[in-house]
Amino acid sequence: MIGAAGPNDVNGAAWFSEIGRGLAEQGWIDGGNAHVEARFTAGLVDLSERFSTELAALGPDVWVCGTPTNAKNAHELTPEVPLVFVAVPDPVGEGLIRSFNEPGGNITGVAHFEPSVGGRQMSLLLEIAPDVRTVGYIYNPESSDSWFQLLPFVNEVALAAGVDVIHLPVRTLGEVEPAIASVAALPGPGLFVPTNNWTNSNRQVFIDAVNRHRIPAMWGHTGLEQGLISYRADTTEAFHLAGGLAGRILNGADPRDLPVLGAPRYVLTVNLSVAASLGLTVPLSILVAADLVIE
């Protein structure tokens, strides 16, 4: 297995555990009749290449790969080995599969989320913070991930609302604070932190900077209880499903016969304390729709 967030991260620990649960449901117990050798990249491309090479040398029976970069690296090294991907929003566009219903080859997995969710995320941000006029879209351009796939949908909603979206590319953690500060200095600032493994692995840096500058922010990650609002796929269940697919392959299933699964559900979280600190009143429509309301 090669993923982004490792067991020292609360999200990564949950995801790794869910892969084991999915395998166990198919009769495969890590440390018993199976061995899961794992590497975690924190969303860094160079580590993905290195770890994929290390794991390929072990001769795996099946891959479980989180993120497009990890999946593609693993498949290029061992195209004959079945592969289950997870946290890949557009597996067709990435060239991993032919279609969702008929993946082709020896790859299947869980698509994790639809890129169009970016529009819903932007709508929620503008609903909870109606005075926002400029939204900073922060991302690491060197992290080959899903951040760019959300943009057309984010821009469409912003344009209709008369809101400007400015790009905030950050390649190192030291650039995060200045980038967020630059948005905070603008009239009606807001921030959009898209689903991305690099930002997720370093989310505390982003949370601290956003809270210091008091900016309404939409988060695309789990574990953002300190943030104003987040809307994201249920990644825990996605990894559980991926583990189950890997177990079925170990039991003899052909990946060609296992259609790619979509995101199981989306989770909306809102923090009333953060909203109050920003002088925001959470609309009833958001409170009713929320899966988790933090007092």
pLDDT at 7 over 60: yes
Q: Is the pLDDT of residue 145 over 70?
A: no
> pLDDT for 49-66, tens place per residue?
999 999 999 999 999 998
What per-residue string of b and e applies to 170-198 under the rule 16 or more CB within 10 Å gives b? beeeeebbebbeebbeeeebbbbbbbbbb
pLDDT at 224 over 70: no
Higher per-residue confidence, 281 vs 69: 281
Of the listed ranges 44-58, 240-254, 275-289, the one predicted with least confidence: 44-58
Going by DSSP bridges, is the β-strand pair 107-109/229-233 parallel, antiparallel, or unpaired? unpaired
CA 281 – CA 279 distance, rounded (Å):
7
Res. 199 pLDDT band, cuts 50 70 90: confident
Domains and CATH numbers, the chain: 2-112+234-264 (3.40.50.2300), 117-232+267-294 (3.40.50.2300)
Q: What is the DSSP letter of 38?
A: -
Read off the tokens for 44: 């860094």
Identity at 53, one-letter amino acid code: T
Length of the chain: 295
Predicted confidence (pLDDT) at residue 161 exceeds the cutoff of 80: yes
pLDDT at res. 80: 96
Q: pLDDT for 86-143, tens place per residue? A: 988 778 888 899 988 889 889 999 987 778 889 999 999 999 999 999 999 999 887 6
CB-based contact 252:230 (threshold 8 Å): no
CB atoms inside a 10 Å sphere around CB 30: 17
Dihedrals φ, ψ of 189, to 5°?
-80, 150
CA separation for the pair 59, 42 (Å, rounded): 23
In this structure, is the dihedral angle defined by the CA atoms of residues 123, 129, 133 and 134, taken in order, positive or negative? Answer: negative
Residues 261 and 219: their CA atoms lie apart, in Å, by 24
Q: With contact defined as beta carbons under 8 Å apart, do 43 and 67 qualify?
A: yes
CA distances from 256 to 73, 149, 164, 175, 223 (A): 20, 26, 44, 44, 34
d(CA 283, CA 7): 36
SS3 207: helix
Torsion over CA of 249, 97, 89 and 30, rounded to 10 degrees? 20
Beta-carbon count within 10 A of 90 CB:
16
